[in-house]
């Protein structure tokens, strides 16, 4: 059984499949997106979670601000 798993790991590595699981990000954060450079009207927001997932709502613009950063424990 150990030889089969070792062979599978070698084949997976050669073909680019992940062999191990990596840790999540060290921080999560929240981004607000504004309609223009006055930064007064929020038109969208995004969350990056401690599990490495993105959740985006509304419109993503180039006028953004990171409003909340938190450590992932």
Assess if residue 11 is contained within a domain: no
Q: How confident is the model at residue 73 (pLDDT cuts 50, 70, 90)?
A: confident
Q: Structural domain of residue 69, as residue ranges?
A: 22-73
Predicted confidence (pLDDT) per residue in 10-66, tens digit: 445 545 544 444 566 789 999 999 999 999 999 999 999 998 899 999 999 999 999
Predicted TM-score of the model (pTM): 0.62
DSSP string, 10-73: HHHHHTT---SPPP--SEEEEEEEESSTT--SEEEEEEE-TTS-EEEEE---S-EEEEEEEE--
Assess if residue 6 is contained within a domain: no
pLDDT at 2 over 90: no
Assess if residue 17 is contained within a domain: no
User: How many domains does the chain divide into?
Assistant: 1
């Amino acid at each position: 059984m150990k030889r089969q798993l070792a062979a599978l790991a070698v084949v997976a590595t050669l073909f680019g499949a992940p062999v191990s699981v990596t840790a999540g990000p060290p921080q999560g954060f929240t981004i607000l997106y504004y309609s223009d450079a006055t930064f007064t009207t929020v038109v969208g927001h995004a969350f990056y979670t401690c599990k490495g997932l993105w959740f985006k709502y509304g419109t993503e613009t180039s006028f953004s601000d990171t409003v909340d950063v938190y450590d992932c424990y």
